[in-house]
Structure 1
Amino acid sequence: MTTLPFMPVQQRAASDSGHRFDANRHWAASLTLGFGAYSDGDRSITRMNKSHHYGPLRVQRPFYPEGRDGCCHVYLLHPPGGLVSGDALNIDVTVASGAHALLTTPAANKLYRADSNGVAWTQTTHLKVASQAILEWLPQETLAFDGSRGEQTFLIELEDNAKCLGWEILGLGRPASDLPFATGHLEQRFHVSQGGRPLWIERQSLDPSHRRFAGKWGQGGATVHATFWAIGLADPAEAVSALREYLPANERWAVTFRRGVLLLRYLGMDRNEAWDLFLQARAVLRPRLTGHEATIPRIWLT
């Protein structure tokens, strides 16, 4: 009988599964989507013409709640429901000229506490929109648990005359359970360009141990950070005025327009308030950007 060499339980588990469970753990998943515009008589139909995945990232079939010649709605699925140490998610979306796609998620994305080795997770989203194409990036909120460590990166590449509307809502901790985001470190990065020209480059570091986290000159202890963007508006000044007139007036949000990008920011304590604010902002901006009313994805109503 052959005697097998002794292997610690963790090492055997890593060997059997193909994954590591030590400080070098790395669990990758990726999703690549493509959308094109196709002629059907006198109509132009957006179809998902590419869907490649690796690991636990999927999409449901496309939906057309706005009609077959309307926007193509797609739901991104991540069955684990959140990110843990070592996860590396990569989402790559390309929208060809003449196409109009809307991407959202069925539930909130959760960022779980880091493991005993403090290994971080990463999530990279790369959106490419061709001239005369429209992309709406509308995920449900992201919830960061105490002790989470990771980095979110958004890369948005637009050709001239491309249009993009999107948001990112981040809730820190679980206030309802009296579990604040007291430890950990998150970093968000945004890089938006059009025609190869940088429009918006930003890096935000969220570290509870830094004075900026609680200081009134910084975050002021806010537990919800949210950013809404719109690019390609025909009359940005009128759109900004419409938002300021239509949205409920308070000190928790502000809107600006610079270098071709309209940015609506929320900094407060209530992710439901941020969500409602962004829904109202989309109702104002979507008709101005796309010429269509702000249809609600069905998955938000379930």
Structure 2
Amino acid sequence: MSVASLQITEPQSFFSRYLRWLDVLDPTALLSSEAEVENSRALLEKLGSANKYLTQDKKVNDAQKLCEASLHPDTGNAITTLFRPPAFMLCGTPLAIAALLPHTRTIPAFLSQFLFHTYNAGFTFYNRNVTCKPNKIQPFQPMLLFGYATYFSVLGALPQYLMNKFPSAAMQTFMGRILPVPLVTILSAMNVVAVRLQETEDGIEIKDKSGHVIGVSSQAGSKAVKETALSRAMLMGITAMIPVALHPLLSRSRFILRNSKALGPIKCVATALTFGAMIPVSFSLFPRQGTILRSELEVELQGNTTESVLFYHRGL
């Protein structure tokens, strides 16, 4: 099943895409059996292009949502349950809380960062554009992903190490409150770029409005990776900013002055709510079926079609 068949009814406006993702991210989709997923796929394949006229039919709409939540748009194969879009909230929320909230020692900070970046790398890998045909074989892809996660985890835990080594007030303020937000924002974007770097080098398939493959474009690959990296950076940047912004406000409140131990749980809840609320916003920021102008393609590809706008699968 191609991206065209899965997303033929993808809304064009941000708000419409946001509402659609609210439905697709329903965690109960993870409980669907393989048979239910296959039945939904069979229904959409049977309808073919006619399904865009039947989106008001509840059965067809439910089948589309289940397929979008469970199947990879490029291959039609089922995505590993742990890395399906609805699982991102369930698995990512506790990892984001552990990675963003303060620690007292470097090792726990590193471990929380490692789990967070490992899961994000896995999610990016399983939801990437798989039409990329690598020019170089990479037999050690899992080890490469492990290396990326380790590298980003070291950088993420570095502020905690410096805070412990240099316990001055200025260092505590800078490393504990100022640096974490831009750091996690940049690292989250770098995570996406590192995992999907091959798409920018070897290119991804681009299609016309009829679904015919025009060629493989590295320009489209770069655009897809850039958009996904920006959406992930926004997700983590805003999530990281909320507990930092709340700290000075809450710490002066009467309730916290009387119950200082409540500050930590409140920040955890705020982080979880922000992360959960921002996931559909992040996924909706750019269309999953991306577009690129023919004039932006490589010169050798521009002659393959007369259409002014081409399509590609952006990935998540």
Structure with bigger strand share is 1
TM-score by structure 2 length?
0.30
Structure with bigger helix share is 2
Question: Relative contact order, CA 8 A, sep 6+: which one is greater?
Answer: 2
TM-score by structure 1 length?
0.31
